[in-house]
A and B are shown apart, each in its own frame.
Chain A
Amino acid sequence: MNAAPIYLDNNATTRVADEVLTAMLPYFTEQYGNPSSIHAFGNKVARALKEARVQVQQLLGAAHDSEIIFTSGGTESNNTAIRSALQAYPQRKRIITTVVEHPAVLNLCKALQQQGYRVDYLPVDRYGRIDLDLYRALLAPDVAIVSVMWANNETGTLFPVEEMAEMARAAGVLFHTDAVQAAGKIPIDLKHTAIDMLSLSGHKFHAPKGIGVLYVRRGVRFHPLLLGGHQERGRRAGTENSAAIVGLGVAAVLAREALPYEMTAVKNLRDRLEQGILAQVPNVLVMGDPVNRLPNTTNIAFEYIEGEAILLLLNQHGIAASSGSACTSGTLEPSHVMRAMGIPHTAAHGTIRFSLSRFNTEAEIDRVLEVVPEIVRKLRALSPFWPKHQEAA
């Protein structure tokens, strides 16, 4: 109880890295100039923003730093990308996306449907995978944009967005990906892909909240969402959040350096956690695609018990995770991602997402492994369904 808290909810948000905070602080104090100003105050800041732009460009493997537009985060980037495409191709009235997107895409699409756009939501199978043949069949010249997330926030499942972008390009359709969960966790090299637009969000990789990026490939028709000043070359009006942009740049450098570690050490910790739970706890299922998956995420369904109750007990041990169960979200049904995968109702309410970062340690994982079996046992002892299941088995 008194031990240091263990944070395994990094897909929700991350702690700001020390280097990031240190780099940001001067931009609140001495370097408070407006980068648009002519004087020295502004100039220095403008140069810092330019540097951050290059740092993000390098994280994404983009061909040009001018392809990077700073925004307020993933939600704004997604909204901008999709609305831009609709404005750029007014004759095209269709959008293709998936059933498991983040609400920042889904709720926008829902609103666009009200306005008369047709939205095709690609279904997923039990492992959260898309049927590429169905996708191919939907691609047509009247589609304004395809928007498909690179990595799913709940399960970590990776979609083959590079392949899907090639297919879209062959069909003459713009391709956007919500890479909010992918950026900084898997290698991205945009100049060698057909991806036209990409969203990322700083707070998912140790930059602060409220800063993000929309990548727009050079040559892609673009219409800004926010109109006003000429910032970001007229593509995103509003005085730049300079401190956060500087922080995002540093976070991008750190993420790029840490990528090999993320793909090995963090992945090993994730696997240690997952294997440990599978070995010790009966009736658990791993959600999503077990192969094509973010290195930091595991989503585990504990049958016959409910997610919020698990989280409360984890929290009592100082462990932070999250759940796709109904009770944790204020709605009454399991998350749309779990429902889309059609997982059995014995498991749908008992899913727990553990999402790691490079700040987690083996000792922390081992402590979680000590606690989880005990928690599951306690809740199953309370559940009327567990004894019934035991009898049947």
Chain B
Amino acid sequence: MWDYSEKVKDHFFNPRNAGVLDDANAIGEVGSLACGDALKLMLKIDPISERILDARFQTYGCGSAIASSSALTEMIKGKTIQEALAITNQDIADYLGGLPPEKMHCSVMGREALHAAIANYRGESWHDDHDEGTLICKCFGVSSRLIEETIRANGLTTVEEVTHYTKAGGGCTSCRTAIEEILARIASSREPQPAGKESAPAAPVLATRPLIEKIRRIEQELAAIRPLLARDHGDVELVDLQGQTIYLRLTGACSGCQLESITLSSIQARLQKALGERVRVVPVREISPAAAHCTP
């Protein structure tokens, strides 16, 4: 079991401000059942002073997810929006006396929910993690924006750290190269620039990387195909891309049945059309043994 601090245990066993806030005027929801954790943050903000008068949460997730949510509500109550927005995920972790490295994503989720709630209050649209153009990790729906912000805010340098903080790369692992590229870009932008040259913001990685562009197109096409499969309780997911070969995992009713080969060939045809090149679609059946758990 995790080595949780006393403060984490306290906030988990005795969560503060849990439940629904009936007169909330700011609501932020992040995460999902499929991802394994989710947080709904409800705030009551005074429109004149822009002070957070009350905060409540509902959380689905592990001990540290619940503790981080509880801590967050305690930290922001009484603060103005401006003050609250200055809170970093590290502040949440510090408030709890630290989190195990693998659990830092819980603190990031807290900050995300706070920003989503404030955007909701201001009538702004929150950068949706499922905004296709910026989605890096499909398994956990993590955008390039969140990855970049988290790398910068926490000074992360390895893919493993990015996974601990954002979950990105923790599923099928096919986005690790993309994460490495983001890390490399941020690392180079951190290096001192030669005199005279202002450190221009790095060009958006997605527009300039053919591989990522291709993955994005595939994902877009799969997103269009998914509703068709969903009728038969099926789903499809991109596992890997190597040259012209696209590895897909079919799940649900469409996996394993005789219809699979039909489904695959029609998916292949659609992907060829979308990409404008010849591709081969290969079904991936086995559960990756690398991801096999060590439940004894």
Contact = CB atoms under 8 A, between A and B. Distances in A.
Q: Do A and B assemble together? A: yes
Interface of A: 11-13, 99, 101-103, 106-107, 109-110, 119, 121, 123, 153-154, 304-309, 311-313, 315-316, 322, 324-337, 339-340, 342, 345-346, 348-349, 353, 381-385, 387
A332 B12 contact: no
A86 B288 CA distance: 22
A381 B295 CA distance: 28
B170 A384 contact: no
A326 B18 contact: no
Contacts of B39: 384
B62 interface: yes
Interface stretch (B53-61, B75-83, B126-134, B191-199): B53-61
A272 to B, nearest CB: 24
B289 A109 contact: yes
Given A312-B1, A326-B36, A345-B34, A383 B292 contact: no
A309 B61 contact: yes
Contacts of B285: 121, 123
B29 A331 contact: no
Contacts of B290: 107, 110
A342 B37 contact: no
Interface string B29-61: 100011011111000000000000000001111
Contact of B15 (A305, A327, A333, A382): A382
Contacts of B295: 12, 153-154, 322, 324, 328-329, 335, 337, 353
Size class of the contact patch on chain B:
35 or more
A308 B59 CA distance: 13
B296 A346 contact: no
Interface string B10-40: 0011010011100000000100011011111
B286 A325 contact: no
Contacts of A311: 1
Given A11-B296, A345-B34, A383 B60 contact: yes
Contacts, number: 136
Contacts of B171: 332-333
A327 B139 CA distance: 15
A98 to B, nearest CB: 10
Interface in B50-107: 58-63, 65-66, 102-103
B289 A107 contact: yes
B291 interface: yes
A331 B59 contact: no
Contacts of B227: none
Nearest to A322: B295
B207 interface: no
Contacts of A334: 36
A390 to B, nearest CB: 12
B143 interface: no
B289 A385 contact: no
Nearest to A181: B296
23 contacts: A103-B293, A106-B289, A107-B289, A110-B288, A121-B286, A123-B255, A306-B65, A308-B63, A309-B66, A312-B1, A312-B13, A316-B13, A322-B295, A327-B36, A327-B63, A335-B293, A336-B291, A340-B287, A345-B34, A348-B34, A349-B33, A382-B59, A384-B38
